[in-house]
Amino acid sequence: MVNSAEFAQRLQEMLNYYGLSATAFSDAIDFNRSTISHLLSGRNKPSLEFVLKVLEKFPEVELYWLMNGKGTFPSSTGKSEQLFQGNENDLPQDLLNQEEGKFTEAPAYSNKKDEIDRIVIFFKNGHFKSYS
């Protein structure tokens, strides 16, 4: 059985991880804002439809973690990866020495092993669009 208060804490942890407000989250999963508010306050328990939408939009969320706190978040099997591994010294120096606000074309990068899995665009209003 789902404990509403503990579920609310996990839901808030998830929102913090993604940097989403309750409004942006409700828009992302196409769910009623008042329902999200009631879930965050612990007033209501999550519906099956809500849980399925969360799992569909956020692959790093594990079902068992979301429902009863068992498991990990973010999921170690989720699709998230660190976008840049390394440090500033690994960047081409001609890019680092440019004046702020001016961009130069980056040198071509070719690694046949790397393929783009997903592109996510974040908008200033809290919305995002994911392309696979």
Please give the domain boundaries of the chain with CATH numbers for all domains: 1-76+113-132 (1.10.260.40)
Separation between Cα atoms, residue 132 and residue 120, nearest integer Å: 9
Q: Give pLDDT, residue 127.
A: 80
Check if the beta carbon of residue 15 is closer than 8 Å to that of residue 25.
yes
With H, G, I as helix, E, B as strand and everything else as coil, classify residue 96.
helix
What would the pLDDT profile of 18-66 be if each residue is shown by its tens digit?
A: 899 999 999 999 988 999 999 999 999 999 999 999 999 988 888 889 9
The whole model's pTM is what?
0.56
Please name the helix (run of DSSP H) or strand (run of DSSP E) that holds residue 131, with its range, or none. strand 128-131
